[in-house]
Structure 1
Amino acid sequence: MNTKLLECIITVSQERSQSRAAAKLNISQSALSQQIKKVESDIGTALFYKEKNELFLTDAGKIYINGAQGALNIYKNALRDIQKVRTRKNKEITFVYTKGLLKDLAGVLTEFRKMHPDIYINTLYGTAASAKDYLSNGIADFAITATSDLSNTLLGYIPLRTTELQLALPYGHPMINRFRKEGVCFECLAEDIFILPPNETLSRQLSSRIFQQNRFIPRSIREVSEIESAIELMISGNGICFVPKFHEARDRYIAFSLVPGANYHIVIAYMKSKIFSPALKDLLMILMKTYDSYTDESVRR
């Protein structure tokens, strides 16, 4: 929308003189005259007529002015609403996190609130896949999530820690002693039910990679959405599963590292085009400090 052009026509109608309107608009009279002629040429009729050295609106001019004033009002209201959104957005930080990857959320929020009491933190829960959607669509400022690959065209990563997915067996499983001595043999698990997360999760992708690397196809799969549910099923003798190395309930099962290792990274993810505000930088520093204090046993997925 050429708001300057609309303002020129409106000002001429108010001043009833091109010279006075040009002075008020701080442009030359010839430039203003060209603007008027351009509009009249575009609509195919005159906007003004001259009487006693003053300019008055034609019928077409009156219609044009009414439309121009309405359009300008809509435009100004839109700018005002956008400014309100920008102001509100500057007072809010939204981040998404994968369940279990941030243990002391309350502590993080409390420390941040001491530094920035006027800024609201909005948290969302999502998988690694949904976190990317939140970021790319501008819903979230950053995400605490997991990835197996630190290279991405659109996303930048701040690594928090590197860990691994391990095979978990319930106490009493017949392969425990053998695996302790010789390492994991997937062919020995041909009769077991594998309890796996949904396809869109990073854990499922890593599980599929583990099977491919070991040239193994599970005969039976049971899918559950939560790692806690998978562990409960495993402990009760309803299958085996993969668990993060840092899961805190490790006294309830036996876990084995895999060769090759199923490593992945816990990261702060953000759009590479993202501009970090001072408050956002402070929040990221708090999160990094929090992760520095974690041990493999203290972080829960």
Structure 2
Amino acid sequence: MKITVIFVQLIYSMLSIEKTDKIKMELRQLKYFIKAAELQNFTEAAKKLLITQSTLSQQIKQIEDELGILLFERTGKRLFITEAGLEFLPFAKQTVENAQKGIQRIRDLQGIKTGTLKIGITYSLSFGLSNIIQQFLKKYPDIHLEVVNNTAHDLQQMLVQHEIDFALSLKLPNMNPNIEMTTLFEVPLCAVVNDIHPFANATKISVKEVAKQTVILPSKGLSARSCIDDIMEESGTYIKPHLEINDVNILLQIIENSPYVTILAQTTIERRKKLRAIPIIEQKKNLTAALLTLKGEYQKAAAKAFMEIYKEEFFLHNLVN
């Protein structure tokens, strides 16, 4: 009942403002409110927004004055979003998102000239990424490109929260229903060793043979690890890792300079001359590399252009379907 009363009060306040034609709320202020609501800390929010805390406080107060209701409660040094603030938050987010989409469509009509493109990618699919980025920036020098390397699970969350425009990821068993997946190519899991390891020239290897070695595995939560666990279960062989690590780059550096063994997607070691990938006998199906986008969302022309360059790079290595 209390939430309903506050919601009615909030809507009434907004309607009253419209009738008096005094609303002056700006997108900038909505962005400030959203960040403050996410962090519930004016000091941290101001740092993220690159403004002073006093400026943020003034802008939030302006919004509250226009709405005629408090969006935050301040108790000493602590900050809490009110129930009215929680009701207003999704509308503020939707307004900012719609404005950004509208701006992007106009930019696309004018050609790929300016704007920002945010991409998420798993380490397993970042082979050739530096070359792809260089090609893209050379062709579209005024596009601001942001690339985030993360786990497949975290990339899905970032996509749903509109923190990235699309993701290049290995498919997970449980995909978010709001995400659309376009299959790019299949990737086998392989045992990975350095070029002087006794297994370096092997054409195939069993899970039992791997289990007898000193093994380093990617941490649980990484997409490759889920597939490794499936193979262990299907083969009835448990591999006890001596080390688990969530940074694949560090993992590969260790393998390059030690007699250890790991299991990773084959694409992970492309262009690493000191490493060898050995097919695993018990593997019944490959990993699926995919383009992840939000269902029903408009795709930026810049995103489509980046994907064309990405596909060309992988096509050269006979990976893309």
Q: How does 1:164-183 map to 2 (within 5 A)?
A: 164-169=188-193, 171-173=196-198, 180=203
1:256 correspondence with 2:283: no
1:85/1:92 CA distance change after superposition, 3 Å: farther
- Say which SS state the counterpart of residue 239 (structure 1) adopts: coil
Q: Which residue matches 1:86? A: 100
1:283/1:251 CA distance change after superposition, 3 Å: closer
Contact kept in structure 2, 1:167 and 1:258, CA below 8 Å: no
Q: Which residue matches 2:66? A: 71
Q: How does 1:1-301 map to 2 (within 5 A)?
A: 1=11, 5-6=16-17, 8=19, 71=66, 82=96, 86=100, 90=104, 91-99=115-123, 101-113=125-137, 116-148=140-172, 153-169=177-193, 171-173=196-198, 180=203, 184-234=205-255, 236-246=257-267, 247-248=269-270, 249=272, 252-253=275-276, 255-295=278-318
Q: CA deviation at 1:126?
A: 1.2
Structure 1 window deviating more from structure 2 (112-121 vs 129-138): it is 112-121
Between the aligned partners of 2:97 and 2:159, the Cα distance in structure 1 is 22
Between the aligned partners of 2:308 and 2:119, the Cα distance in structure 1 is 14
Q: For each residue in 1:207-266, what CA deviation from the matched residue of structure 2 results, as whole angstroms up to 9, or x when unmatched?
A: 111111110112443213344443444455543211332323365446233333351122
Contact kept in structure 2, 1:166 and 1:258, CA below 8 Å: no
Q: CA deviation at 1:142?
A: 0.4
1:122/1:231 CA distance change after superposition, 3 Å: closer
1:172/1:196 CA distance change after superposition, 3 Å: closer
Letter of the 2:169 partner, please give it.
Answer: T
Q: Which residue matches 2:26? A: none
Contact kept in structure 1, 2:153 and 2:172, CA below 8 Å: no
Contact kept in structure 2, 1:150 and 1:157, CA below 8 Å: no
Contact kept in structure 2, 1:154 and 1:271, CA below 8 Å: yes
Structure 2 unmatched ranges of 5 or more = 1-10, 23-61, 70-87, 105-114
Structure 1 unmatched ranges of 5 or more = 12-66, 297-301
Between the aligned partners of 2:134 and 2:141, the Cα distance in structure 1 is 10
Q: For each residue in 1:33-52, what CA deviation from the matched residue of structure 2 results, as whole angstroms up to 9, or x when unmatched?
A: xxxxxxxxxxxxxxxxxxxx
Between the aligned partners of 1:103 and 1:274, the Cα distance in structure 2 is 27
- Say which SS state the counterpart of residue 258 (structure 1) adopts: coil
Q: CA deviation at 1:200?
A: 1.1
Contact kept in structure 2, 1:167 and 1:256, CA below 8 Å: yes
Higher gyration radius (CA): 1
Q: CA deviation at 1:132?
A: 1.1
Between the aligned partners of 1:112 and 1:190, the Cα distance in structure 2 is 42
Task: Give the length in aligned residue pairs.
Answer: 232
Between the aligned partners of 1:293 and 1:167, the Cα distance in structure 2 is 24
Q: For each residue in 1:136-179, what CA deviation from the matched residue of structure 2 results, as whole angstroms up to 9, or x when unmatched?
A: 11100101121255965221122222111112345453x778x7
Q: TM-score, normalised by structure 2?
A: 0.58
Identity of aligned residues (%): 15
- Say which SS state the counterpart of residue 286 (structure 2) adopts: strand
- Say which SS state the counterpart of residue 193 (structure 1) adopts: coil
1:242/1:9 CA distance change after superposition, 3 Å: closer
Q: TM-score, normalised by structure 1?
A: 0.61
Q: For each residue in 1:66-95, what CA deviation from the matched residue of structure 2 results, as whole angstroms up to 9, or x when unmatched?
A: x9xx527999xx89x959973897332211
Letter of the 1:260 partner, please give it.
Answer: Q
